[in-house]
Structure 1
């Protein structure tokens, strides 16, 4: 039976991804089969977890996925792995649903990672609150960014035995994973990414946590494995060309699997590498960082022409977030420079200085509900009227409801800031890749 742990923290920026990835790397290179997941919607942390574990990383969100989908993914992982690692999101109790909700629902023991750089006895109070505020299965605590052995001893002394002291990682900038707007830099962008993971895995191996055998982890009973019902083959015989490179990197592996289960063939091309649009029935331009590669993308007049001809022939294009930005007439980057882009959508995408939208959303159409999320710093100034809008999943008491995200349609082209989770409504996901209107 697989061991399992949910790596959480009191807040963002404490080192969850570093520790979860190091734990995966430590056990994977020792020969254990490791499956990793990310709690909540995220495209960047999973890249590090995938590099560390050697396998695909899916999201687990009780609202976006739904409870049954989360259970099925955990059940399948438990069949194949010796260790299942789930990285939490934000702070342990942040969000609706939170990482704590996921841990409690599936009995996942929680490992708390705490940045202890500027504390001593208060460390014990924080651990006590995380562990006891609500009843959660518990795996222990690891102190991060610790100043030295004396500091570590003070932190350990602040804990009762039942808190599960797992040791500490030193305050070493070499362990840090680089960040930019939207989150961590992608693992595939750094030539020394695996070396970074090995360095922190080596440090983790010296801790109590790192030396713990999998047989000594808290017991975990995974969900029952249920054979899924086959999806209707609504995309049978259709070929979908997917842009994939550093500018278009925000792709859930589970979304690709859903398209394939619907009968589609997926092929990949790189706009940054100069690839032509492959012969296809539909195109997917995922999110990513087109604003960081705007000059290179602006030079792809050939691809812009190919995409326009594809759309004008009545073949579908689905562009989400960064993919939509690349289709605009122009992008204004973080330095205020304007780059003329592909021009399939009227308007200009402008990179802002702060988050423009963040949160779970749903797209409701024709009795179906496609769930997902929105997270972007940019805005699109466009005269084109949206065909419809997504709906925010929740509202905050006392505050005006958050606006929905526009969904634009121009012929067979559909585009939005919205990042859908295709498995939440395969029928509506298939419609994104068909020329029919959503309006």
Structure 2
């Protein structure tokens, strides 16, 4: 478990560079991400050359966490799990996942401006929870070899310094308001990762950890509730927030998946249902608005009474207008009256669930925009702590919300949404 005392310590890039370092050494590397995240996994897939899945005891379930790690161990020489936030932050935390899986935690500590206190931070992380093994730490952003030596000498007995990474431009990847820039937007990402891997190799980070044993029962095969159902999925620079597990489940339930680009295509693929996932429509609003044939095709699809699921960025595209960060309004689909507009701060963040007669769909929300609409929501999600979360709108066969669902948590509900079949909300606002 690659973790840290908190966010911003550099663990994402260290995880990616570690994956590339061992991949370049000829090893089969699998990487997982703790918690909801779309952007880090894109980079980690490029780094490792293998698919990346989410692990989160609450969102994906404890059994699935164990199974995915054990399955990866069948073929992988090295498995890395990138934590989220700090080691003990959140419920369940990265530390909780590490304990559940039976793997040690490896903290990355930003040592800039720090000397002997580095040892105190490492000691605290290693002893805060006696059930969680922490045998080694990584020092990040050191200023010199002497600085690295001070850090090594500061460590208490039982904790070793795996490596000390110097400050280096190769360890940086651009980011924006939702996190890292999407992997497919960086033409030189592979070269950046190779350079970062060499930085880690020079810092002594090319050794393998001690092996652990992983075991788990395979999950039950899902019912083929979407047999023969064709689902058109928006996938391009504007719509890209897709969990691999969601796509896997749709196919396992019998669906045929057909991808299209609302930016570049002028017509929809032949389909029975449509999925507009999250992404960055606000960065491409002008281009989306100018693609009149595609807008009309999606409107006709809705008019024909076919199911549409719109999540976060997809919801924004369904509004009458989308106002970007520059304050420019763009006329979009008009399936959901009102306008979506970018805010100057984060508007929502956290784990939530949608409670229905066909199961509880777990997932999360994370957005910098807000929707102004005269429409009353059909229901609201529930935050993990129990209070009201995101609005869920149902207009005809359109289901739209800022909420991102993790499909394997409620297969029957997901199948009903894409088949346009009835279900009831347990927290309906019309009750």
Residue number in structure 2 paired with 1:282: 273
Are the equivalent residues in 1 in contact too, given 2:358–2:423 (CA < 8 A)?
no
Structure 1 contact 412–437 (Cα < 8 Å) conserved = no
Q: TM-score, normalized by length of structure 1?
A: 0.94
Confirm or deny that 1:157 pairs with 2:153.
yes
Corresponding position of 2:213: 221
**Alignment partner of 1:258 out of 242, 246, 249:** 249
Q: Which residue of 2 aligns with 1:398?
A: none
Query: Is structure 2 residue 402 aligned with structure 1 residue 406?
Result: no
Aligned equivalent of 1:28: 23
Equivalent position of 1:185 in the other structure? 181
Q: How does 1:163-202 map to 2 (within 5 A)?
A: 163-202=159-198
Find the counterpart in structure 1 of residue 427 from structure 2. none
What is the Cα deviation at residue 437 of structure 1? 4.4
- For the residue of structure 1 that corresponds to 2:51, the secondary structure is coil
Partner of 1:53: 48
Cα distance in 2 between the residues matched to 1:31 and 1:275: 43
- Structure 1 residue 415 and structure 2 residue 400: aligned? yes
Q: Tell whether the 8 Å contact from 1:117 to 1:145 is kept in structure 2 after alignment.
A: yes
CA distance in 1, matches of 2:91, 2:343: 26
Give the superposed CA RMSD.
Answer: 1.2
Structure 1 residue runs of 5 or longer lacking an equivalent are 1-5, 396-400
Which segments of 5 or more consecutive residues in structure 2 lack a partner in the other structure?
A: 425-431
- Map 1:282-321 to 2 at 5 A: 282-321=273-312
Map 1:140-155 → 2, pairs under 5 A? 140-155=136-151
Residue 231 in 1 paired to residue 226 in 2? no
The equivalent of 2:77 in structure 1 is 82
- Between the aligned partners of 1:84 and 1:434, the Cα distance in structure 2 is 37
Query: Post-superposition shift, 1:438?
Result: 4.5
TM-score scaled by length of structure 2? 0.96
CA displacement 1:95-150 (0-9 Å, x = unmatched): 00000000111111111101111111111111110111102122411111111112
Task: Say which is worse superposed, 110-119 or 131-140, in terms of deviation.
Answer: 131-140
Q: Aligned pair 1:67/2:62, yes or no?
A: yes
The residue correspondences of 1:206-217 to structure 2 (distance < 5 A) are 206-210=202-206, 212=207, 214=208, 217=209
Asked whether the equivalents of residues 276 and 308 of structure 2 are also in contact (C-alpha less than 8 Å), the reply is yes
Equivalent in the alignment of 1:340: 331
Q: Distance in 1 between matches of 2:196 and 2:219?
A: 38
Superposed displacement of residue 223, structure 1: 2.4
* 1:280-339 Cα distance to aligned partner (Å, 9 max, x none): 000110000000111101112111111111111111110100011011111111121211
Partner of 2:418: 433
CA–CA distance in structure 1, aligned partners of residues 256 and 355 of structure 2? 26
Q: Deviations over 1:388-422 (max 9, x none)?
A: 11111115xxxxx4x31111111111110110000
Quickly say closer, same or farther: Cα 1:127–1:289, change in 2 above 3 A.
same
What is the CA–CA distance in structure 1 between the aligned matches of 2:110 and 2:416, rounded to whole Å? 45
Q: Is the 8 A contact 1:387 1:438 kept in 2?
A: no
8 Å Cα contact 1:411-1:435 kept in structure 2: no
Residues 236, 261 of structure 2: 8 Å contact kept: yes
